[in-house]
Amino acid sequence: MLNTDLFSTLQQNFSSKEQIKIALIGNPNCGKSTLFNALTGLHQKTGNYPGVTVDKKTGVCKAQNPITKQMQWFRLIDLPGTYSLFPKSLDEQVSFNVLMDAKNVDYPDIILIVVDASNLKRHLLLATQLIDLGRPCMLVLNMIDAATANGIEIDVNKLTELIQVPVVSCNARQQEGIEGVKNTFFAFAQNIKPQQGLINIQAIVNKDYAESVHRFVNQTSVYASLLKQRSNIEKDEKLNAYNKKFFTGFESRDMLFRFEKIKKISLECVNYTSIRKDLKATDKLDRFTTHPFWGFVVFITVLFLMFQSIFYLAEFPMQWIETGFSFLTQKTREILPDNFFTSLLTNGILAGLSGIVVFVPQIALLFGFISLLEDSGYMARVSFIMDKLMRKVGLNGRSVIPLISGMACAVPAIMSTRTISNRKERLVTILITPLMSCSARLPVYTLLIGIMVPSNYRFGFFDVKGLLLTALYLLGIIVAIAVAAVLKYVLKTKERSFFMMELPVYRIPQLKTVLLTMFDKVKVFLFDAGKVIMIISVILWFLTSYGPKKEFAAIEKNYIEAFAKANTDSIKQELTIAMETQKLQASYAGHLGKIIEPAIRPLGFDWKIGISLITSIAAREVFVGTMATLYQSRDKEDNLSIRQKMMQEKDPMTGKLVYNFAVCLSLLMFYAFAMQCMSTLAVVKRETNSYKWPIIQFVYMSVLAYIASLLVYQILK
């Protein structure tokens, strides 16, 4: 039974709309986002759905009507991946809400169902549910090349006849068949009609009850009304009391009837001419990558090689960038007069920029490697092998994806926890994800490791810097698991946990996708984190360049006589450095650092490091820009890199190097565990809808960082 009035409205909408809304929906790993990118190109934007921090990707594509030759714009919405219309997670709930609420701003005119052609049987469950909504649908058989290569033949015409919606095949990764997909869009505009259901609803739920619900809820089909009513009663206790008995076993009966229908469709439409080659190769690789022992060995080896490569491959471009900024700073000082604006440009803006741009090669490589792991299908295996370990600490394998993603950035990683249906496990995952060493820590790590370890220091064939960086990332994993084990007993719940994840076949990563990911992430780093670093760099330049007038005047007065007696340029340069050092201590920044110095002295930190700790609360990577500004302000004549200046820094009281092994390792421990990222705290607040959890997270991570740093310094000093 279909709502024909709603279809009349839809027909009018098609003829009057400038942009027809199309929602792309499918199972995870069906290539839906790849198809979305192929259809929209660069005409897309990312945001959040109203009220929730769930990624909302929208875009537009332009196509020519094959009949009238007129151009038409289509607005595409890439809905979060879902396995069925019985939502189990926040992601799936968002997709359900968009499809079922006609008042939703993203409510689509057309539902574009994307399925993996090489796994048609499994993906048809969601497809049949969507078709039974009675809405205009079309189905795209994506990855048709993989199906063909593995001896899977699909009769497209027969499939169209059986499911009664237009079916088109394509290979979105290679952009083959994309025009055919666009052309099919116009079929709805020209010949829209009510969609007949595939499943006998009367066999699932009482006929009279179903029709009464349909009249009351008023969706486009009886099935859609039942799904909407089921969702309503889960939220409303009054509705639940009467309606619950009608929906007992509704989901299981629905699944049972659909699997029977899908079996018949598959027998008539799909022909297997040979054993799948990709499954053979996948099975062979999985003997190692999912093995109870060797799987962990492979995972640690992958991490080790990744971080060795990051140091090795990024070394030369980082040196070029450092040299370029030193040259630019020197030439700027030579060309411009020594005044306020020159100081602002060289000691504030250029110093801040160098602290950002120099780490672009490492940021790009980190995200590139993570993209390779995701695109190849290996990341899902990591979840599988970690599931047993995760269960011992009160989590499951689904928590691993956010944790591994946290190595890139904690913000999207925490947002990705919405796929975890168990509330306690989701909360624990949110609380421990920032312990994973993210890309924002990478500039801090590489700077301090570069000071600690000589460039030619090796352990056999391996660079010790890469070994130390790998150890820091593994430390984050170990401590995150340990904290989860504690929270397992602190947080109580009666919810049962389950873990279900599809292991995709291994595929050769698409270079274009990897490069686009690297470009996007570097752009975010430069323009989002970069803006924060630049603003703080300019503020720091002011705080380090100016202070109480009386103190500055007294310092200058003390050095007038000394300058008059100086008879060589080298003596004058030493006096200038000494005077600038005293001015820095007397500056506003110096006073601020002196205030907190007693609290951080036991960690081996001086007042300059204290300033960096304060500024980097906004974002961890600000530490590097802060140090660059501090040391640039002290010494305006030389053109050494920030790393070289920190390596030469000596304590004026003892004459010893400030950044010795103990201090550097203490700083590494502090930044490995401290919550110094306002964006992460903000997203935790939004995801938990409470100020309680971000406050708890900030406090426990700060205490953990302080204790770890204190122990390391006191033992090694």
Average pLDDT of span 619-632 = 70
Helix (H) or strand (E) holding 688: helix 678-688
DSSP string, 302-340: HHHHHHHHHHHHHHHHHHHHHHHHHHHHHHHHHHS-SSH
Distance CA 43, CA 61 (A): 7
Could you tell me if residue 37 is inside a domain? yes
What is the domain extent for residue 627?
Answer: 526-677+693-716
AA identity, residue 454? P
Could you tell me if residue 98 is inside a domain? yes
CA nearest to 442, candidates 371, 518, 365: 365
Least confident of 37-51, 82-96, 288-302: 37-51
Distance CA 214, CA 1 (A): 9
Shared domain for 133 and 11, answered yes or no, is yes
Shared domain for 94 and 243, answered yes or no, is yes
Q: Are strands 110-116 and 152-154 parallel, antiparallel or unpaired?
A: unpaired
Shared domain for 477 and 616, answered yes or no, is no
Give the contacts of 339 (CB within 8 A, at least 6 positions apart): none
The answer to whether the CB of 56 falls within 8 A of the CB of 47 is yes
Q: Over the stretch 253-284, which tens digit does the pLDDT of each residue have?
A: 888 888 888 999 988 998 877 665 556 777 78
- Residue 314 exposed, middle or buried by CB count within 10 Å (0-12, 13-18, 19+): buried
Question: What is the pLDDT at residue 129?
Answer: 92
- Residue 367, classed as helix, strand or coil, is helix
AA identity, residue 643? R
Could you tell me if residue 480 is inside a domain? yes
φ, ψ of residue 139 to 5 degrees: the values are -120, 130
Q: Is the dihedral of CA 181, 187, 189, 190 positive or negative?
A: positive
Does 50 score more than 50 pLDDT? no
> Nearest-5° angle of CA 694, CA 698, CA 703?
150
Question: What is the pLDDT at residue 113?
Answer: 93
Q: Over the stretch 632-688, which tens digit does the pLDDT of each residue have?
A: 544 444 555 667 777 777 776 677 787 888 999 999 999 999 987 777 777 788 778
Total residue count of the chain as it appears in this document: 717
118 against 496, higher pLDDT: 118
Question: What is the pLDDT at residue 666?
Answer: 93
Mean pLDDT score of the chain: 78
CA nearest to 176, candidates 206, 205, 148, 204: 148
Distance CA 282, CA 510 (A): 18
Q: Is the dihedral of CA 74, 79, 83, 84 positive or negative?
A: negative
- What CA–CA distances, in Å, run from 431 to 282, 471, 618? 34, 22, 18
Question: What is the pLDDT at residue 28?
Answer: 81
Shared domain for 35 and 161, answered yes or no, is yes
Last-in-domain residue among 464, 490, 516: 490
The answer to whether the CB of 442 falls within 8 A of the CB of 362 is yes
The answer to whether the CB of 316 falls within 8 A of the CB of 365 is no
Distance CA 506, CA 277 (A): 11
Confidence at 558, pLDDT banded by 50, 70, 90 = confident
Q: Over the stretch 281-337, which tens digit does the pLDDT of each residue have?
A: 777 888 888 888 888 888 888 877 776 677 678 778 877 887 888 788 888 888 888
Shared domain for 22 and 164, answered yes or no, is yes
The answer to whether the CB of 663 falls within 8 A of the CB of 604 is yes
pTM reported for the whole predicted model: 0.61
Could you tell me if residue 209 is inside a domain? yes
Shared domain for 238 and 328, answered yes or no, is no
Shared domain for 78 and 155, answered yes or no, is yes
Does 408 score more than 90 pLDDT? no
Average pLDDT of span 480-494 = 84
Does 9 score more than 60 pLDDT? no
- Residue 461 exposed, middle or buried by CB count within 10 Å (0-12, 13-18, 19+): exposed
Q: Over the stretch 138-167, which tens digit does the pLDDT of each residue have?
A: 899 998 887 887 788 899 899 988 988 889
Does 4 score more than 50 pLDDT? no
Give the contacts of 428 (CB within 8 A, at least 6 positions apart): 394, 395, 399, 484, 487, 488, 491
* Residue 259's CATH number: 3.40.50.300
Question: What is the pLDDT at residue 636?
Answer: 47
Shared domain for 533 and 464, answered yes or no, is no
Shared domain for 252 and 347, answered yes or no, is no
Shared domain for 130 and 263, answered yes or no, is yes
Distance CA 239, CA 80 (A): 28
Shared domain for 465 and 614, answered yes or no, is no
Distance CA 374, CA 404 (A): 10
Q: Over the stretch 528-544, which tens digit does the pLDDT of each residue have?
A: 656 766 776 677 778 77
The answer to whether the CB of 46 falls within 8 A of the CB of 75 is no
Cα 135 from chain centroid (whole Å): 33
Give the contacts of 107 (CB within 8 A, at least 6 positions apart): 21, 98, 99, 101
Q: Which two structure tokens, joined as six digits, stand for 226?
A: 């039942």
Distance CA 120, CA 134 (A): 21
Q: Over the stretch 200-234, which tens digit does the pLDDT of each residue have?
A: 777 777 788 888 888 888 888 888 888 888 888 77
Distance CA 272, CA 354 (A): 58
Average pLDDT of span 386-405 = 79
Q: How many domains does the chain have?
A: 3
Distance CA 91, CA 149 (A): 32
Last-in-domain residue among 490, 506, 539: 490
473 against 627, higher pLDDT: 473
Could you tell me if residue 171 is inside a domain? yes
Could you tell me if residue 712 is inside a domain? yes
Could you tell me if residue 586 is inside a domain? yes
Q: Over the stretch 195-206, which tens digit does the pLDDT of each residue have?
A: 677 887 777 777
Least confident of 506-520, 593-607, 683-697: 506-520
Could you tell me if residue 513 is inside a domain? no
The answer to whether the CB of 447 falls within 8 A of the CB of 469 is no
CA nearest to 355, candidates 630, 69, 67, 45: 630
Q: Which two structure tokens, joined as six digits, stand for 108?
A: 């689509």
Question: What is the pLDDT at residue 17?
Answer: 53
The answer to whether the CB of 470 falls within 8 A of the CB of 386 is no
- Residues 323-357 as b/e (b if ≥16 CB within 10 A, e otherwise) read eebbeebeeebeeeeeeeeebebbbbbbbbbbbbb
Shared domain for 335 and 268, answered yes or no, is no
Last-in-domain residue among 215, 237, 272: 272
Does 68 score more than 70 pLDDT? no
Strand ordering across the sheet containing 137-142: 44-48, 55-64, 71-78, 19-26, 110-116, 137-142, 167-169
- What CA–CA distances, in Å, run from 469 to 359, 437, 441, 448? 15, 10, 11, 10
Strand segments, DSSP code E, in 53-183 are 55-64, 71-78, 110-116, 137-142, 152-154, 167-169
Distance CA 69, CA 467 (A): 61
- Residue 497, classed as helix, strand or coil, is coil
- Residue 65, classed as helix, strand or coil, is coil
DSSP string, 584-599: HHHSHHHHHHHHHHHH
Dihedral class, residue 218 (left if φ above 0, else alpha if ψ from -120 to 50, else beta): left
AA identity, residue 697? Q
Confidence at 623, pLDDT banded by 50, 70, 90 = confident
Q: Are strands 462-463 and 458-459 parallel, antiparallel or unpaired?
A: antiparallel
